[in-house]
Chain A
Amino acid sequence: MRGKAWILALLLVAVAAPTWAATEIKFYYPVHLTGPLVKEIEAIVADFHKANPNIRVEPVWGGTYPENMQKTVAALQAGSPPDIAVHLAVDLVTLRDLDAVIPLDEFVQREGGEKFLADFFPGFVSDIKGDGKIWAVPFQRSTPILYFNKDLFRKAGLDPNKPPTTWDELLATAQKATLRDASGKVITWGLTIPDDIWLVMSFILQNGGRTSSPDFKKVYLGEKPAIEAVQFWVDMANKHKVMPRHRTFPVSVQDFAAGNTAMLIHSTGNLRFVRDSAKFEWGTAFLPKNKRQAVAIGGAGFYIFKKASKEKQEAAWQFAKFATSPEIQARWNIGSGYIATRRSAFDLPLMKDYTGKLPQALVARDQLPYALPEMSTHDNWKMRNIFVTTFQEILDEKYTSEEGMKKAQAEIEKVLAPYQK
């Protein structure tokens, strides 16, 4: 009897040991698209558990990007931050201002240093570096692309295989594609771009301009290229009337999927929704260039937090490494539309098969050589809010482009004043 009891006890210990020896880490993540994406993340976590029985990840969905950021900051204030979280590349400044995260160089060195980083697309690594250190691992990255409705192109007498490649072509195409009825009311728009600063940034970059300084202390919105870029957008909406005003991020995608607009400039992350909803032939293309081909990179990566113990930080790295491996990134790309952050992901049979069937998915990746870091400063969310509301006021013709941009510039400079040290 005694013997059996001992064996039982040993068995119990053996079974329980992995779980109580397991390191538990809390993982905050944002998702701009729910449903399948929350499931995708949970699937990644589940697969990670299978491969790493001694680590348990508790995934916590924190809402949209700003909401997730707010939760992290709240948790930091309360003294119990997550161990690992997905935040925008542009949130790096804020997280460093709060002294919340650790540089990842040691971990990266262990994996092969430069060789490890080389497999990531360079654009995705350039904006998570600061003071020569690496602060995040790229996880869900995207660029804006041009979606176009081939059926509507045909209807307007345009070549469905020749999307516009320059600003002039964009305007001309949009003018041709805007269909009006007898009384002049618009039936379908030629182009739709939602009021999103990320997209305005791309226009500024395409015009040869710059948005913010690499040291996060200055913005350049009052400069001529920026003003001209905004003017071009405003003209398309107000002068040439090929674009509706103030469409929100989600509504603009719905418009495209519903066939109400011939072209759409939006994140590649919507690919899945368009794929699932569009009942017409559609294509994707690079954003048109003006003085140069350029887009702003968007998206987020894994940050590991300072307050976590060394053990948890190690566990967090294991998870980050897993989730950014080529196989997982390939799956993530297919399931969402975000660009797989690893070059080698695109060589996997799974991806080759997918992109064979849906070539539109490759445009975002092919555009990467022209991708530049997103605008980022201290007090980022306040800066963005000033920028976008002033931009909306310019669109409403409350100010001219020049007045508005200079006003935004002045206000943002006031916000950034305390950081000019």
Chain B
Amino acid sequence: MRSRPLWRLAVHSLLLVAGLVMVLPLLWIVLTAFKERNEVFSLVPQWLPARPTFNNFLGVLDAMPFWRYYWNTLVVAFGLLAIQLMTITLAAYAFARMEFWGRDVLFILLLVQLMIAPQSTVIQNYLTLSGLGLLDTRLGIMAPYLASAFGTFLLRQTFKSIPKELEEAASLDGCGGFRFLAHIAVPLAVPGYLAFALVSLTYHWNEFFWPLVITETSKARTLTLGLGIFAQTAEGSADWTMLMAATLMVIAVPVLCFLIFQRRFINSFMQSGLGG
């Protein structure tokens, strides 16, 4: 590849511009969260806060049950992941390594979930969960995702890559079938699980619309939804500094996790593209 200084300068400049366009909004969020309310109305954008204050954060904690939202989000994201890990392991293994009648058709049926996002099936899922008494519950938020076509697909790729010889050798040693799955296949597939986990956690931490439909009160509400609702009400949107503080509080954890585990996150999402 070329390494002429001019070329490198060009590449750096373009990437720098792109990077700035991406990061400036984040920078604005962080800085504005510390400003006083009226600073944002000046016609000349003040980047740095004149008199940095923590009031906005305190105001947010006052205005919404932040910790309850936080806890709900943790329960939903991790609880869901736990169940998903079980359902996708079994299903992926079956699709990857077992022969059975109708396998291809069933696989296509599985893929339907990739094409029809939960947004499109809200009405009926809402009615179903209402009938089951699961409206406004965390389980209700998790329900449509308990089966994950994406996870199954991803894990299937991973399981498929385990050599057949390994399985045959193991079964001769008495470690066939389920025991092979549990003791050998699963540990070998850890990278796949990790990739899935990061994608799933990110998605559900950040989800807005489905929780909006299925929750009524702050009982089961999650963080991102709480942020959206906070913004909708007039004071939230008139009070930019408080809104930015709320936004910062909501994105802090995902962004920090990302900064620490960058490589892992990016690899996970890379796999999601190749796999699905």
Contacts and interface: CB of A to CB of B under 8 A. Distances in A.
Contacts of B229: 63, 67
Contacts of B236: 34
A31 B64 CA distance: 13
Contacts of B235: 33-37, 273
Contact of A250 (B38, B64, B130, B238): B238
Nearest to A31: B233
Interface of A: 31-39, 60-64, 67, 71, 74-75, 77-78, 249-251, 253-254, 257-259, 270, 273, 277, 279
Contact of A277 (B37, B63, B64, B216): B37
Contacts of A249: 234
B144 to A, nearest CB: 17
Interface in B200-244: 216-218, 229-230, 232-239, 242
Interface in B4-52: 37-38, 41
11 contacts: A33-B234, A34-B230, A34-B236, A35-B63, A35-B242, A61-B218, A67-B229, A74-B130, A251-B237, A253-B238, A257-B41
The prevalent SS among residues of A at the interface is helix
Contacts, number: 67
A38 B226 CA distance: 14
A27 to B, nearest CB: 11
Given A39-B62, A249-B234, A250-B234, A77 B130 contact: yes
Contact of B64 (A34, A62, A259, A273): A34
A249 B234 CA distance: 8
What are the 4 tightest A-B residue pairs by CB atom distance, in nearest-first order?
A258-B41, A33-B235, A35-B63, A250-B237
Contacts of B242: 35
A71 B216 CA distance: 6
Contact of B38 (A36, A251, A253, A277): A277
B135 interface: yes
B59 interface: yes
B230 to A, nearest CB: 7
A60 B218 CA distance: 8
Contacts of A64: 232-233
Nearest to A278: B38
Interface string B239-256: 100100000000000000
Contacts of A67: 229, 232
A288 B232 CA distance: 30
B116 to A, nearest CB: 23
Contacts of A35: 59, 62-63, 235, 239, 242
A251 B230 CA distance: 15
Task: Point out which of B218, B232, B235, B242 has the most chain A C-beta atoms below 10 A from its C-beta.
Answer: B235
Contacts of A31: 233
Contacts of B237: 250-251
Given A61-B218, A67-B232, 11 more contacts: A31-B233, A32-B234, A33-B234, A34-B236, A35-B62, A35-B63, A60-B218, A64-B232, A74-B135, A75-B216, A273-B238
B79 to A, nearest CB: 23
Nearest to B239: A35
Contacts of A75: 216
B232 A63 contact: yes
Nearest to B217: A60
B233 A32 contact: yes
Contacts of A34: 63-64, 230, 233, 235-236
Most chain A beta-carbon neighbours within 10 Å: one of B38, B133, B238? B238
Contacts of B62: 35, 39
Nearest to A58: B217
Contact of B233 (A63, A254, A270): A63
Nearest to B219: A60
Contacts of B59: 35
B57 to A, nearest CB: 13
Residue from the set A39, A63, A259 with the largest chain B CB neighbour count within 10 Å: A63
Contact of B234 (A61, A62, A253): A253
Nearest to A70: B216
Contact of B238 (A71, A78, A254): A254
Contacts of B63: 34-35, 38
A74 B216 CA distance: 9
Contacts of A38: 63
A149 to B, nearest CB: 13
A62 B234 CA distance: 14
Contacts of B37: 277
A135 to B, nearest CB: 23
Interface in B158-174: none
Nearest to B216: A71
Nearest to B41: A258
Which of B133, B239, B242 has the most chain A CB within a 10 Å cutoff?
A: B239
Interface in B50-106: 59, 62-64
A75 B126 CA distance: 12
A32 B41 CA distance: 22
B50 to A, nearest CB: 14
